[in-house]
Structure 1
Amino acid sequence: MTKRLTAAAVEKLKPTDKRQEIPDAGSDGLRLIIQPSGAKSWAMRFRRPDGTHAKLTLGSVDLSGREGTGTPVMGSPLTLKEARWLAAEVTRKRAAGVDFRKQVGETFPEVAKDFITDHKDRRRTWADIARMLGLDVEKDLSPIEGGLAERWRNKRIGEITSNDVHAVIQECINTGVPGTKAAPRKSDNRGRKMGDALGALFKWAARHRRDLIHVNPVVGVYRPAPPSQRQRVLNARGEIRQADELRQFWKATGIMGQPFGPLFRLLLLTGCRLSEIAKMTYSELSDDLSTLHLPGSRTKNGRPHVVYLSPLAREVLKSVTPVEGCPYVFSTKRRTRVSEGSKAKAQRTHVSGFSKAKAQLDGLMNIQDWRLHDLRRTAATGMAGLGVPPHIVEAALNHVSGAKAGVAGTYNVEAYMEERREALERWAAYVGGIAADR
């Protein structure tokens, strides 16, 4: 039997090993929720106009014994009296056509969108995480067709279980990320990225949506471990001066032409990460092309970084034909839908399609088991082999571990500007000598 709750009863009711949901006969749809942890909150149950069930969390239970003053605010601690007042207000507004599900954002796509919006300015990889969660970064984070957000569009964030998480991670490993083309082979990396994306989302939700989620379903679920640290550099027999592979790389990138040939060469000459060069704009370059100024939003550690461009790097840049009206140095055409109902138009954006370009490059070379990121390691190893001190190599690559980690990084703020320039010029001169068979 449903009974009318009292303030004393709300305080005395004890948790059990299962979640309790106790209706209040004194208010239409109001429920007292008691978690096994002892946490208590107020919620409402009702049917939406389409007949589906809905749950609306009003706020946590206020057991301070205070008298409610002013108008109760949804999401704040509420006494029994305040919870009943809010429940009556919700009932009145629902009768007027207000959709409270949209207001509180309790479904997976709504919470995921809030999470990504909160991380846009603080996390460099927010766009990649959004795509893993099934949100379109080019369409105001709307659900991608067939993506995870569309698949779980009617799931409340608190209804997602460990089995759901496990299933989608395994799907990513075996066939690909939901909403993308089926992958030809298995990939632990895809599963790891999905696990990381969901882990970050639910960790955020546990802190910012405590009324919606009480158990993190990602905890304890298997996800592939990170790969072992790579040691691969482009050389032969582990000696950078025996540069057979460097010579092949330089020759092959010359055959490839624009935009990927010059782009890949700059990765080797600067030691930059792929995204730092691929998304490079003319506004980030100095007028004489001697420096590339990367803002913190474009670097992995969030720190602005000046990349010195050697004479050889400047020659490579000058070989790139600018595209009129395009801000990116390396650009490509991508078909995008400008407005709803309109035809897709080809618009210039930063270059993409690196998998195909890498496959083309491999076809022009006789090098086994290497990745584009190995070019960054090759540059670092090459500078060290030429006698550049480790702390200068790390400064040139905007790397804060190693020599400048911990206390050293806190107190040593020297940027080594001149030393970085000399190091990259020495490295480029060495690569140029390899290219010219000197």
Structure 2
Amino acid sequence: MPRRALTDRFCAHAKARDGEAQTDYFDEERPGLALRVTKAGTKSWTYYFTWGGKRVRMTQGLGTYPATSLARARTLADQARAALEKGKDPRTALAKPETFKAICEEWYEREGKALRTGEDRKATLERLAYPTLGDRSINEVGRRDIIRLLDRIEDESGAVMADQTLAFMRRVFNWHANRSDDFRSPIVRGMARTKPKARARKRILADDEIRDVWAGLAAAEVPTCYPAFVKMLLLTATRRNEGANMHTSELEGDLWTIPGERYKTKLDHVIPLTPQALALIGEKPYGVNGNSWFVFSTTHGIKGFSGFSKAKRELDKEIAKRREAESREPMPRWTLHDLRRTARSLMSRAKVPTDHAERVLGHVIGGVSETYDRYEYLDEKREALTQLARLVDFIVHRRVISVTLRRVNREAESTA
């Protein structure tokens, strides 16, 4: 075990000794502190101490060199020594605090990434829970804290969003409880703001609301890709993230194949694109590298669109302004997912057979194997989406025609 007075110069150039896979260089100034250097050149800090009559090697919280400098490593060694003198285990004393945010991030890395909705859950917690509870020790988060958080979310975003956030937090708390000897989840039954049946949304947009959305998209201060993205959701009856992450590698002619790894059923879902939908895809973004890109993007195709909340607020403000100018009631709260439900309703209105419409939505019909041909019912889906596009065109442009006729009539009356 080489021992020497460590310096920054030595640490920067230190190598493992010949014939050794790794070498620990012990610091003469801080007993127990060592710089471990591997044959591959990786350098990490280690602190050795005796606990319960046994020699213990601690690495947690010390980091690697040069991310953790020599001076910082010595400070941490002093803290570890101070903990020992107080009869405390340095591994516990120097451990990073188990904040609510830290536990959520650990859950995401170990479990959340594998979930289809993992990214959504992470984004919801970052937006709604971290500002209030993020820096709090998870052991100090109580029922009262959660109730107050849910109250605020319900007031600002609705009861359904409050319950969704509660569900995500419950998953993290239960996960942490299974890994801890002491932690108990503060979430109990009765905290939900709605009943399960009430959480099943039934909202669909009426014709005048669809026209308001189209008009609002034309006037709102939103990213350039946003109007086409929202319209694509209705014309293809897809979910928000499916549309936002449309990639040109998934397109072939007039077919858009959403791969199973990012689709709810875990099966490839093929959507025939109507001329109206194809027109929304547009040209290749300027400056994008490679031969494929994300269609709806604010980064020249490098990443899919993600600024949902901000853009939706701008759209809602424009719709509200439009309705107020026409002395109409405010538009009831709606979400982008309501467009998918609206598309399904419009297909029924266009006399599309039920099973064809269900296949457009990607619902697996009972009795169909998970290995079914992904091109099954392709012609029927194309016809269903064609009928949907025609009806949307009729709904949107009928309003334009009626407004024009009223203006012509007013002008005629004023000159009479």
Name the CA shift for 1:115/1:230 in 2 (closer, same or farther; >3 Å).
Answer: closer
Q: 2:389 aligns to what?
A: 428
Give the aligned residue type for 2:262: R
Q: Determine if contact 1:278/1:330 at 8 Å carries over to the other structure.
A: yes
Q: Deviations over 1:89-143 (max 9, x none)?
A: 376759985953499988345543332112244212223333455599xxxxxx9
SS for the counterpart of 2:363 is coil
Q: 1:44 aligns to what?
A: none
Q: Is 1:151 aligned with 2:143?
A: no
Q: 2:187 aligns to what?
A: 218
Q: 1:378 aligns to what?
A: 342
Q: Deviations over 1:126-179 (max 9, x none)?
A: 23333455599xxxxxx96x5534222xx5xxx45xxx3423323323445xxx
Q: 1:89 aligned to 54, 60, 70, which one?
A: 54
Unaligned segments of structure 1, at least 5 residues:
1-84, 137-142, 177-182, 236-242, 335-346
Give the aligned residue type for 1:118: R
Q: Determine if contact 1:310/1:425 at 8 Å carries over to the other structure.
A: yes
Q: 2:313 aligns to what?
A: 356
Q: 2:263 aligned to 281, 285, 299, which one?
A: 299
The number of equivalent residue pairs is: 304
When structure 1 is superposed on structure 2, of 193-202 and 250-259 the one drifting more is 250-259
TM-score by length of 1: 0.57
Q: Determine if contact 1:170/1:191 at 8 Å carries over to the other structure.
A: no
- Summarize the alignment of residues 40-79 of structure 1 with structure 2, pairs less than 5 Å apart: none
Q: 1:168 aligned to 123, 140, 145, which one?
A: 145
Give the aligned residue type for 1:100: R
Q: Determine if contact 2:160/2:199 at 8 Å carries over to the other structure.
A: no
Q: Is 1:100 aligned with 2:100?
A: no
Q: Distance in 2 between matches of 1:132 and 1:175?
A: 14
CA positional deviation for 1:380: 0.4
Q: 1:197 aligns to what?
A: 168
User: Structure with the greater relative contact order (CA < 8 A, sep ≥ 6): 1 or 2?
Assistant: 2
Q: Determine if contact 2:295/2:304 at 8 Å carries over to the other structure.
A: no
SS for the counterpart of 2:331 is coil
Q: Is 1:127 aligned with 2:93?
A: no
Name the CA shift for 1:369/1:114 in 2 (closer, same or farther; >3 Å).
Answer: same
Q: 1:274 aligned to 240, 243, 246, which one?
A: 240
CA positional deviation for 1:379: 0.7
Q: Distance in 1 between matches of 2:57 and 2:200?
A: 60
Unaligned segments of structure 2, at least 5 residues:
1-49, 60-75, 81-88, 402-416
Q: 1:238 aligns to what?
A: none
TM-score by length of 2: 0.60
Q: Determine if contact 1:269/1:313 at 8 Å carries over to the other structure.
A: yes
RMSD (Å), alpha carbons: 4.0
SS for the counterpart of 2:148 is helix
Q: Percent identity over the alignment?
A: 24
Q: 1:232 aligns to what?
A: 203
Name the CA shift for 1:121/1:409 in 2 (closer, same or farther; >3 Å).
Answer: farther
Q: Deviations over 1:54-93 (max 9, x none)?
A: xxxxxxxxxxxxxxxxxxxxxxxxxxxxxxx995437675
Name the CA shift for 1:394/1:361 in 2 (closer, same or farther; >3 Å).
Answer: farther
Greater Cα radius of gyration, structure 1 or 2: 2
Q: Deviations over 1:382-437 (max 9, x none)?
A: 1122222222212211234xxx35xx355894642222122112211222333444
Q: Distance in 2 between matches of 1:385 and 1:245?
A: 16
Which structure shows the bigger proportion of residues in helix conformation? 2
